């Protein structure tokens, strides 16, 4: 596997991605979902503020509702949750769809090895994920700042959390939320290599992802050794969900340093195992 061959395979993957609907949806849908949530939250906040004004009520919750940081984190959480599902589906579709259509044979004829194709798809999916995350962060920050105001959390003139502390927590929450992303991509790619059809691969990948999401709460402390426990999801146990409460000034969030360390390290061996399995299977299976 030479570097020049890998670069050539990557160029082919990015060229194809430019003209596929799946890649465009992967990049744009998370930001669109976050924007929709912002607009819905603004409408709800406006109605609540009007009701409180009629009742001459103006409490701490009203001040929190007008602070953009909490809404910004909520938008990130929603967008990343959708991004994980889209990435798993796209990864599962990538290899199996080309195998089913016969396009994979043409790549092999052009001197691309099986393992090289898998690695190029893995790298391409990570690049698409980085672009999607970048657009999500920028668009969410701009739109939440347009609809609300960024500022520290203040109650009765006392600053509970400064903006610097809020930014630090959001940065940590984002880092921990994105740590399982490579493992999720590798899972989808492994199932894509194993499956005989694209439909079978996508359904299996989404089914396994949602099953882990539903049943991770039943595993107790063992759930911390499952990468899916740390990613934003429909049943959200990620640190980013805790950050949403922290930046709103709530002090009932318990932070366990051991869980944070597991969040950093558990996805790494998972990624290695899944990628190694993909390379072994693709080399031995019949195409």
- Residue 16 has a pLDDT of 82
- Residue 46 has a pLDDT of 80
CA distance 193 to 32: 31
Regions of the chain where pLDDT drops below 70: 1, 49-63, 102, 106, 108-112, 156, 251-254, 287
DSSP string covering 189-213: HHHHHH-SSHHHHHHHHHHHHHHHH
pLDDT, tens digit, 9 for 90 and up, residues 191-228:
999 998 999 999 999 999 999 998 888 888 888 899 99
How many CA atoms does the CB half-sphere of 147 hold within 13 Å? 26
Strands 158-161 and 153-155 turn out to be antiparallel
- Residue 57 has a pLDDT of 58
Burial class, 236, CB count within 10 angstroms (exposed 0-12 / middle 13-18 / buried 19+):
middle
Is there a contact between 115 and 189 (Cβ–Cβ < 8 Å)? no
- Residue 137 has a pLDDT of 97
Is there a contact between 231 and 194 (Cβ–Cβ < 8 Å)? no
CA distance 254 to 238: 12
Is there a contact between 144 and 73 (Cβ–Cβ < 8 Å)? no
- Residue 59 has a pLDDT of 55
User: Between the CA of residue 133 and those of 81, 87, 142, what are the distances in Å?
Assistant: 11, 12, 14
């Amino acid at each position: 596997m030479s570097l020049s061959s890998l670069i050539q395979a990557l160029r082919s993957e990015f060229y194809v991605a430019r003209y596929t609907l799946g890649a465009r949806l992967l990049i744009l849908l998370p930001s669109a979902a976050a924007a929709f949530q912002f607009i819905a939250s603004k409408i709800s906040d406006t109605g609540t503020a009007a009701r409180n004004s009629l009742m001459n009520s103006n409490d701490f919750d009203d001040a929190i509702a007008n602070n953009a940081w909490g809404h910004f984190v909520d938008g990130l959480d929603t967008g990343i949750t959708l991004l994980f599902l889209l990435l798993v589906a796209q990864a599962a579709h990538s290899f199996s769809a080309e195998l089913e259509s016969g396009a994979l044979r043409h790549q092999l004829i052009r001197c691309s090895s099986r393992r090289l194709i898998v690695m190029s798809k893995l790298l391409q999916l990570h690049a698409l994920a980085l672009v999607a995350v970048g657009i999500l962060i920028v668009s969410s920050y701009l739109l939440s700042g347009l609809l609300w105001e960024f500022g520290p959390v203040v109650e009765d003139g006392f600053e509970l959390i400064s903006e610097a502390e809020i930014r630090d927590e959001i940065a940590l929450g984002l880092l921990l939320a994105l740590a399982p992303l490579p493992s999720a991509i590798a899972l989808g790619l492994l199932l894509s290599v194993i499956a005989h059809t694209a439909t079978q691969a996508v359904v299996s990948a989404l089914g396994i992802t949602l099953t882990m999401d539903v049943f991770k709460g039943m595993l107790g402390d063992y759930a911390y050794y499952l990468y899916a426990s740390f990613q934003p999801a429909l049943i959200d146990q990620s640190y980013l969900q805790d950050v949403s409460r922290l930046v709103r000034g709530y002090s009932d969030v318990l932070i366990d340093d051991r869980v944070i360390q597991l969040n950093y390290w558990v996805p790494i061996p998972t990624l290695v195992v899944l990628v190694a399995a993909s390379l072994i299977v693709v080399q031995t299976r019949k195409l």
